[in-house]
């Protein structure tokens, strides 16, 4: 009887420890993709607006590593990351865009307002590519190597501090 | 005519305030499958898949566009003949166990099953001890 | 001015709580004739009055939308309807925390005012414990969540209340819920007081029981109200999702239910002393853990309050002190509480021990499932635990518990024979089996709803059996209470199983004038028009629904757009019949001009909440019955004492 009386206290102490530890951890709601390290699944997307090329998974296997940027004109943080994407493009990164659930005119308007860092933009009306590569929100940026394998995932908008990181990952993927 | 105008006015007020998407929902986001057995299988599966953009809801209970897209995937795949388990695997391959509410025994979830078992044994032990020797 | 008054009242109340605590502990040490002994009860009462005053000030500030107060500016809006302005007082972290401490203060004041059955020493210890816990939460409120904080410059307009909360449910659900689980603090203080003074007796249980009953009734109502609110508000017809915050309200309820039964055994048979004390501590501990989980932000929930790890840390420290302290006291003192009367397995006590064990197991599972994602996140793994886990695993313990609940009340105290109630057991088994076979033959439903239906039917009859052979007019109210509450559980169970098994859903794209069907209903979308409310605009569908060819009923589901804050909500429309509810939601318009209609026909779903109300009613009957019989006993005892005094005077 004696030692059993101490069980509730110890169970509570365990909970206390767990909770205290978790309180110190930054709370991130991100769901990471499990496809990092896997090849891009097959897909083909039509162009997101007139005057750009659509994209397919085959376009990634040409030996050149690229950034795949998941974005949309209705996504507010995408406005914030537009200058940093321009920066990446200026430093030699090839950025391919996938516009999620966007009308061509909205895509055109956004790019006219904030610049177009993309070499190609695909149109993903049903979030199919987004689901296929394990992305769970916009914006997200993936590093794809020359063989079409996903090497790195950056969740959220690209900030100034993320630019060198992404460039380094692109180098690694070479 | 005036009704349509009033309605349009209401829409104009409503739209810019929310930076919402303008594209319609996916075809099968809000449309059931023709075959009732398939729709039932799809519904059961959707109730056990988590909406990734919501706080704590299944895709069957959410109006988020991404949840709608996931429902579209589930329904079209079931209609194409895939089994619910195959579809679940497809999703967990991309998002991990987080996307599925269905309890599976694995290296990360075994305590969830071991502990209830322990509780059954514990309950039995308490009751036996209480009543076993004195009758 | 009002805000400063409210703040001052709060500080004073906190000071009185400190006095209550100090006086209580000092009298424990020095004896009842200590200097401060006479101050304890008055301190508790005045504290209750002051904190209520403080809360009233906050309600006033919300009622007049005083935008110089930060809380009002961030959570209210001048164009909100008055009822939502008022209930918006507790629709945020600081306000609901003030509600929390107000209920604590009022509970303490009420015990101090009314409770005379406990020995004075235990009473002082109890009030001291209540003072300690109150002080902790006052500190939390005053130091880290001040509801009366002013803005340097008054805001031009408020940020508004989350549209999902702008509903009459907000007026009912939080207050009853808080009255319930903060009311359990009384049980906690009683348990700690009893541990401190080693006075665990039937009298103690008889004193504690009405307080537990009262809190439990309110908690039952609060959970039932919350479930119904979520059902009609969220637009998908779900009524329970095992969301962490929902679980946070269920866990105290499970503990309180077990405590209720345990205290009854202690009161009438002087057994289960350790169980009762343990459950008294656990019930309010679960309330506090729930508050922590909801306000610290460590768990993802659709219900989440303003999340803040700093506040979470504060509450965690409070938890460590209070729960850790109480559990430590329990571990040190519990074995000096001698065991109490013995009883056989086949006895009412035996059935109630089984009930205790099962409820505690269910509580442990809900706790495990709720906290498990937290545990795995510490290892960087994210899992989701939801209904597919809780339902079957909970059923492992719920089903045996329900079986014993059917026959337990028929057993005699201390020692009985199973074959004495053989006929009743056979009747129950026959009913369950018949229901099982019939249902599985007539319909194709899953195992859990099937078992739920069958057990519900059997239990409904079994719960009435204690009334058999009694003169109904002379049956004690407390027995009626038990019968009603158990019957309520059966009713709720049938509702849950029926909803799960027999719901039909129809998602249809319908043009104006077009029709569709769901279950036995034919539904016509007559038209869609825009409407406007005080702080929203909406599109409203006019839907006429006819059940099996009857006269059509018109429903008006809406899709509302609020602008402060900008959010869209769906307002479902319901048609309630005796055998279920039609649930209609209107969605967006597709490019081809058709409107999206979501329809559900949910047979017998309302039984879930009627059952919940029946359970609460049972509790009320039991409470009134006990209070009345206690008053009668006291009057009788007083009369006997008077007569004895007279006889001695004459002699």
Residues 6+ apart with CB under 8 A from A74: A101, A102, A106, B19, B20, B21, B22
Do residue C532 and residue B10 have CB atoms under 8 angstroms apart? yes
CB-CB under 8 Å, B123 with C357 = yes
Terminal-to-terminal C-alpha distance of chain B: 85
Nearest chain C residue (CA) to B99: C384
Of A32, A74, A133, Cβ closest to residue B20: A74
pLDDT at A150 over 80: yes
Q: Cβ contacts (< 8 Å) between B66 and chain A: which residues?
A: 127, 130, 136-137
Which of the 8 DSSP states describes residue C234? S
Task: Output DSSP code: residue A43.
Answer: -
What's the Rg (C-alpha) of chain C?
27
Q: Given this model, what pLDDT does residue B17 score?
A: 32
Answer yes or no: are the C-beta atoms of A85 and B1 closer than 8 Å: no
How confident is residue B18, by pLDDT bands cut at 50, 70 and 90? very low
How far out from the chain centre does Cα C568 lie?
A: 29
Domain-located, residue A29: no
Please name the residue of chain A whose CA is at the shortest distance from the CA of residue C295.
A23
Give the burial string for C453-472 (b: 16+ CB within 10 Å, else e).
Answer: bbbbbbbbbbbebbeeeeee
- The whole-number pLDDT of residue B133 equals 52
A24 located within any domain:
no
**Residue C75, CA distances (Å) to C62, C162, C290, C412 in order:** 9, 8, 23, 56
Q: Which residues contact C368 (CB under 8 A, 6 or more apart)?
A: B111, B112, B115, B116
CB atoms within 10 A of CB C170: 23
Side-chain-side CA neighbours of residue B22 (13 Å): 18
Contact A145, A36 (CB under 8 A): no
Strand partners, C582: C575, C601
Backbone torsions φ then ψ of C420, nearest 5 degrees: -65, -30
- Residue B92: closest C-alpha in chain A: A34
The answer to whether C135 and C18 have CB atoms below 8 angstroms apart is yes
CB contact under 8 A, C505 and B43: yes
**Any chain A CB within 8 A of the CB of C297?**
yes
- Per the structure, the count of domains in chain A is 1
Contact C361 B119 (CB under 8 A): yes
C244 in reach of chain B (CB within 8 A): yes
Residue C457, CB half-sphere, CA atoms under 13 Å: how many?
19
Q: Chain B within 8 Å of A139 (Cβ-Cβ)?
A: no
> For residue C159, what pLDDT band results from cuts at 50, 70 and 90?
confident
What's the mean pLDDT in A88-102? 92
* Neighboring chain A residues of B99 at a CB cutoff of 8 Å: 31
> Which range among B42-51, C120-129, C526-535 has the greatest average pLDDT?
B42-51
Residues of chain A contacting B70 with CB distance shorter than 8 Å? 127, 131
DSSP string, C500-564: HHH-EEEEEEE-TT-EEEETTEEEEEEEEEEEE-SSEEEEEEEEEEEETTS--EEE--EEEEEET
The C-alpha atoms of residue C465 and residue C405 are separated, in whole angstroms, by: 12
CATH number of the CATH domain containing A52? 3.40.30.10
How many angstroms separate the CA atoms of C512 and C527, rounded? 5
A18 in any annotated domain: no
Q: Which residues pair with A72 in a beta bridge?
A: none
Specify the pLDDT at position A134: 92
Of C345, C530, C598, the CB nearest to B6: C530
Of B52-56, C176-180, C423-427, C503-507, where does mean pLDDT reach its minimum?
B52-56
Q: Which residue has the higher pLDDT, C138 or C634?
A: C138
Residues C108-156 pLDDT 10s: 999 999 888 888 888 889 999 999 999 999 999 999 989 999 998 888 8
Largest CA distance in chain B: 86
Q: Is the pLDDT of residue B132 over 70?
A: no
Using N-to-C axis directions, what is the helix angle for C169-197 and C309-333, rounded to 10°?
40
Task: Kindly tell me the sign of the dihedral angle through the C-alpha atoms of C171, C175, C180, C181.
Answer: positive
- The residues, ordered by sequence, that sit 6+ positions from B37 with a Cβ below 8 Å of its Cβ are none
Contact between chains at A35 and B94 (C-beta distance less than 8 A): yes
Query: Is the distance from CB of C453 to CB of C428 less than 8 angstroms?
Result: no
B-chain residue closest to C378, CA distance: B108
Instruction: Read off the tokens for A42.
Output: 């097959």
Instruction: For residues B16-44, give the mean pLDDT.
Output: 81
Specify the DSSP class assigned to residue A157: P
C641: exposed, middle or buried (Cβ count in 10 Å: 0-12, 13-18, 19+): exposed
Taking CB atoms and an 8 Å limit, are C382 and B96 in contact across chains?
yes
Q: What subunits touch chain B, counting only 3 or more CB pairs under 8 A?
A: A, C
Contact C505/B at CB under 8 A: yes
Is A24 a residue whose pLDDT tops 50?
Answer: yes
Alpha-carbon gap, residue C556 to C543, rounded angstroms: 6
CB contacts < 8 A, A to B, total 62
pLDDT at C415: 82
**Cα C279 to chain center, whole Å?**
16
Is the pLDDT assigned to residue B13 strictly greater than 80? Answer: no
Mean pLDDT of B36-47: 94
Torsional sign, CA C299, C304, C310, C316: negative
Domain that holds residue A101: 34-172
Q: For the segment B73-83, what is each residue's pLDDT rounded down to a tens digit? A: 999 999 999 99
Q: Kindly tell me if the per-residue pLDDT of C31 is higher than 80.
A: no
Answer whether C146 touches A (CB < 8 Å).
no
How is A9-31 classified by DSSP, letter by letter? HHHHHHHHHHHHHHHHS------
For residue C302, which residues of chain B lie inside 8 Å, CB to CB?
A: 54-57
Q: Which residues pair with C575 in a beta bridge?
A: C582
Q: What number of residues does chain C have?
A: 651
Cβ neighbours of B40 (radius 10 Å): 15
Q: In chain A, helix, strand, coil percent, each to 5?
A: 40, 20, 40
What confidence category does residue C33 fall into, taking pLDDT thresholds of 50, 70 and 90? low
Q: Are strands C595-603 and C580-589 parallel, antiparallel or unpaired?
A: antiparallel
Cα-based distances in Å from C261 to A82, C34, C353, C406, C624: 64, 37, 9, 15, 16
Question: Is the residue at A10 inside a domain?
Answer: no
pLDDT at C472: 86
Residue C422 has pLDDT above 50, yes or no: yes
Q: How many CB atoms lie within 10 A of CB C321?
A: 13
Query: pLDDT tens, C371-411?
Result: 999 899 888 888 999 999 999 999 999 999 999 999 999 99
Tell which residue, C567, C389, C244, B55, has the closest CA to residue A27.
B55
Give percent of chain C above pLDDT 70.
98
- Using the structure block, give the residue that is written with the tokens 């990351």: A81
- Triad C240, C243, C247: Cα angle to 5°: 85
């Amino acid at each position: 009887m004696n030692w059993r009386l101490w069980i509730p206290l110890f169970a509570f102490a365990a909970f206390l420890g767990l909770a205290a530890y978790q309180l110190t951890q930054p709370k991130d709601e991100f769901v990471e993709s499990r496809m990092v390290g896997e090849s891009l699944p097959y897909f083909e997307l039509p162009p997101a607006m007139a005057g750009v090329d659509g994209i397919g998974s085959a376009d990634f296997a040409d030996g050149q590593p690229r950034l795949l940027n998941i974005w949309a004109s209705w996504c507010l943080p995408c406005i914030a990351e537009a200058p940093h994407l321009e920066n990446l493009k200026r430093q030699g990164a090839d950025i391919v865009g996938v516009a999620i659930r966007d009308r061509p005119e909205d895509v055109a308007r956004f790019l006219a307002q904030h610049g177009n860092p993309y070499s190609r933009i695909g149109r993903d009306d049903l979030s199919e590519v987004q689901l296929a590569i394990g992305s769970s929100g916009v914006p997200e940026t993936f590093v794809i190597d020359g063989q079409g394998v996903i090497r790195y995932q950056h969740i959220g908008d690209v900030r100034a501090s993320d630019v060198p990181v992404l460039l380094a990952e692109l180098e690694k993927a070479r | 005519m005036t009704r349509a105008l009033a309605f349009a006015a209401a829409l104009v007020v409503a739209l810019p305030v929310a930076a919402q998407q303008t594209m319609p929902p996916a075809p099968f986001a809000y449309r059931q499958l023709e075959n009732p057995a398939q729709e039932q299988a799809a519904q059961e599966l959707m109730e056990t898949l988590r909406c990734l953009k919501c706080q704590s809801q299944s895709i069957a209970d959410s109006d988020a566009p991404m949840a709608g897209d996931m429902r579209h995937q589930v329904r079209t795949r079931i209609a194409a003949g895939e089994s619910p388990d195959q579809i679940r695997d497809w999703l967990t391959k991309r998002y991990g166990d987080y996307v599925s509410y269905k309890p599976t025994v694995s290296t990360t979830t075994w305590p969830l099953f071991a502990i209830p078992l322990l509780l059954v044994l514990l309950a039995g032990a308490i009751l036996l001890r209480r009543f076993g020797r004195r009758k | 001015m009002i805000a400063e008054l409210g703040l001052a009242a709060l500080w004073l109340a906190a000071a009185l709580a400190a006095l209550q605590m100090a006086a209580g502990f000092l009298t424990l040490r020095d004896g009842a004739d200590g200097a401060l002994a006479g101050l304890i009860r008055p301190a508790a009462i005045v504290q209750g009055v002051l904190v209520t005053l403080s809360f009233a000030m906050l309600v006033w500030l919300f009622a007049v939308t005083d935008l110089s107060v930060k809380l009002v500016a961030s959570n209210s809006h001048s164009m909100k309807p008055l009822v939502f302005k008022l209930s918006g007082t507790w629709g945020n972290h600081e306000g609901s925390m003030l509600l929390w401490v107000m209920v604590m203060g009022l509970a303490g004041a009420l015990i101090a005012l009314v409770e005379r059955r406990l020995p004075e020493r235990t009473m002082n210890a109890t009030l001291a414990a209540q003072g300690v816990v109150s002080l902790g939460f006052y500190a939390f409120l005053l130091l880290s969540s001040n509801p009366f904080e002013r803005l340097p410059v008054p805001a031009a307009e408020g940020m508004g209340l989350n549209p999902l909360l702008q509903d009459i449910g907000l007026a009912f659900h939080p207050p009853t819920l808080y009255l319930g689980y903060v009311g359990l603090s009384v049980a906690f203080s009683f348990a700690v007081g009893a541990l401190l003074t080693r006075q665990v007796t039937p009298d103690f249980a008889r004193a504690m029981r009405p307080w537990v009953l009262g809190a439990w009734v309110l908690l039952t109502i609060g959970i039932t109200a919350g479930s119904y609110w979520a059902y009609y508000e969220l637009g998908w017809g779900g009524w329970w999702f095992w969301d962490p915050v929902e679980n946070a309200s269920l866990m105290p309820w499970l503990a309180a239910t077990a405590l209720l039964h345990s205290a009854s055994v202690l009161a009438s048979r002087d057994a289960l002393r350790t169980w009762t004390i343990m459950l008294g501590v656990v019930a309010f501990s679960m309330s506090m853990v729930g508050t922590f989980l909801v306000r610290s932000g460590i768990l993802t929930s659709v219900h989440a309050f303003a999340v803040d790890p700093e506040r979470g840390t504060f509450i965690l420290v409070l938890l460590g002190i209070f729960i850790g302290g109480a559990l430590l006291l329990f571990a040190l003192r519990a074995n000096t509480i001698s065991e109490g009367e013995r009883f056989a397995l086949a006895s009412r006590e035996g059935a109630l021990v089984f009930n205790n064990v099962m409820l505690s197991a269910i509580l442990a599972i809900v706790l495990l499932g709720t906290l498990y994602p937290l545990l795995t996140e510490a290892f960087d793994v994210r899992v989701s635990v939801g209904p597919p886990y809780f339902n079957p695993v909970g059923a492992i313990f719920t089903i045996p518990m329900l079986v014993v609940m059917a026959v337990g009340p028929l057993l005699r105290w201390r020692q009985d024979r199973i074959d004495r109630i053989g006929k009743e057991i056979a009747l129950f088994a026959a009913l369950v089996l018949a229901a099982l076979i019939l249902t599985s033959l007539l319909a194709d439903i899953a195992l859990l709803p099937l078992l739920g239906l069958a057990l519900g039917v059997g239990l409904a009859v079994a719960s009435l059996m204690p009334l058999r052979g009694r003169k109904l007019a002379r049956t004690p109210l407390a027995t009626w209470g038990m019968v009603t509450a158990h019957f309520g559980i059966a009713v709720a169970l049938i509702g849950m199983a029926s909803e799960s098994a027999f719901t039909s859903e129809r998602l249809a794209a319908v043009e104006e004038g077009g029709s569709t069907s769901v279950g036995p209903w034919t539904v016509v979308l007559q038209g869609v028009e825009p409407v406007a409310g005080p702080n929203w605009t909406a599109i409203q569908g006019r839907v006429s629904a006819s059940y099996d060819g009857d006269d059509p009923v018109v429903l008006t589901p809406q899709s509302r757009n609020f602008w402060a804050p900008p959010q869209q909500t769906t307002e479902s429309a319901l048609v309630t019949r005796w055998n279920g509810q039609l649930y209609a939601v209107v969605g967006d318009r597709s490019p081809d001009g058709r409107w999206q209609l979501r329809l559900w026909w949910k047979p017998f779903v309302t039984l879930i909440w009627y059952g919940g109300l029946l359970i609460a009613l049972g509790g009320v009957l039991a409470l009134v019955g006990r209070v009345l019989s206690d008053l009668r006993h006291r009057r009788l005892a007083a009369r006997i004492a008077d007569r004895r005094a007279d006889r001695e005077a004459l002699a």
